[in-house]
Amino acid sequence: MESPHAIPNIIFILFIWFAFIIYVQAQSQTTVTKKKPSALFVFGDSTVDPGNNNYIRTPMKSNFPPYGRDFINHIPTGRFSNGRLVTDFIASYIGVKDTVPAYLDPTLTIQDLMTGVSFASAGSGFDPLTATLSSAIKLEQQLEYFKEYKSKMEMFIGKEGIADLINKSVFMLSAGTNDYIVNYYGLGESVTGVLYPNVTSYNNFLLQNIEQFIKELANEGARKIAMVGLPPMGCVPGEITLNGDVSRRKCVESMCSVATEYNVLLENKLKGMQISGVKLYYADIYKPILDMIQFGQSKLGFDDVSTGCCGSGYIEAAVLCNMNSPVCDDASKYVFWDSVHPTEKAYQYIFTTLRPIVDMVLNDN
């Protein structure tokens, strides 16, 4: 006669067996979603510049305290934040390295170069005039540095080796904010405003430059290119101070509308471009930054969403945020580090929202 405990025992064994199968499948899927690329290469402005501006003559520097206060060993590397950038979190997540170094750093080893570098320069943009206004490295020059990089690496790993490395790498481009804040509506307004009398014409000009840059990058072997859109520019503390409601620290809606229009055009441009063998991706940072500003105090653990941690929080950036500036005790409670750039915690939150895009990039064949 069958034991009354037999059936429950069988059910328990089947439960354990199915749980094991589900676990194995989940582990297998996790492995698939994190295919490791050979390297990460970055182009753009201060949002992704880890210190290239340290090695050129420009006022756009941040290689001094209190910048880097929460970075590894509290070193001010030239990153415009208190700690790591989005690209550092991405590099760590995809398994190529802990942080992305600046290409112009003369102390880089071959291994540093092998796994990717950033060519970005704080103050740069898609309009060549933008970089000129800040004495930054133009996007065209950043591309020339990439070509120089390839020539250097070819000496060590050969022509086929560098071609294979580039083919299996991920490329990221983050710029555009300076084109509007510094150039079109700022220092370059007298020149750019005459050439492009309305923002729509300027948008089209920038998109043409972006398309040309992507094509040239593809000609150099890039196969996976992620393009970052604009943030809600009107919510940047410095922009609020100069053009917004200072007493209530409300975003400048007109500037946010410009960013929204540009992002739609950029996303459509990327969808419409057809380059054989090349995958293009749009990375949205507008929504996560706006979410931090709108819901940061109630849901995300931020105490201050409209001023920077460094200085008064209203206007200081670069040399205006320095050792003599008052600095908040805990930058993790702030969305912005200075009047323009996010804190490490904010960058980390942005990364978490971009992670599905990163996984898509890694899995695309």
Q: Per-residue confidence at 244, pLDDT binned at 50, 70, 90? A: confident
CA nearest to 333, candidates 51, 76, 70? 70
- d(CA 223, CA 169) in angstroms, rounded, equals 8
End-to-end CA distance of the chain: 58
pLDDT at 214 over 70: yes
Q: Would you state the pLDDT for residue 4? A: 52
193: left (phi over 0), alpha (psi -120 to 50) or beta: alpha
Average the pLDDT over 186-190 and give the result.
91
Asked about 174 being catalytic, the answer comes back as: no
Q: Would you state the pLDDT for residue 35? A: 80
Question: 64: exposed, middle or buried (C-beta count within 10 Å: 0-12, 13-18, 19+)?
Answer: middle
Beta bridge partners of 44: 174
Q: Which of 88, 118, 304, 341 is catalytic?
A: 341
List the alpha helices (DSSP H) in 274-327.
286-299
Q: pLDDT above 70 covers what percent of the chain?
A: 91
Residue type, 289: I
Structure tokens at 58: 């420009």
pLDDT at 360 over 80: yes
Note the pTM of the prediction, 2 decimals. Answer: 0.89
Q: Which of 62, 134, 338, 339 is catalytic?
A: 338
Domain parsing of the chain, residue ranges: 37-233+255-293+342-363
Residue range 93-102, pLDDT digits in tens = 999 999 999 9
CA 114 to chain CA mean position, Å? 20
Whether omega for the bond prior to residue 101 falls within 30 degrees of 0, making it cis, is: no
Asked about 46 being catalytic, the answer comes back as: yes
pLDDT at 343 over 50: yes
Q: Would you state the pLDDT for residue 9? A: 54
Give the lowest-confidence range in 7-16, 55-64, 82-91. 7-16
Structure tokens at 129: 């005039």
Q: pLDDT above 90 covers what percent of the chain?
A: 85
Hey, what CATH topology would domain 37-233+255-293+342-363 get?
Rossmann fold (3.40.50)
1 vs 4, 6, 156, 340, CA distance in Å?
A: 9, 11, 76, 78
- How much is the mean pLDDT over the chain? 92
Residue range 161-183, pLDDT digits in tens = 999 999 999 999 999 999 999 99
Residue range 267-297, pLDDT digits in tens = 999 999 989 999 999 999 999 999 999 999 9
Q: Which of 46, 121, 124, 174 is catalytic?
A: 46
Asked about 74 being catalytic, the answer comes back as: no
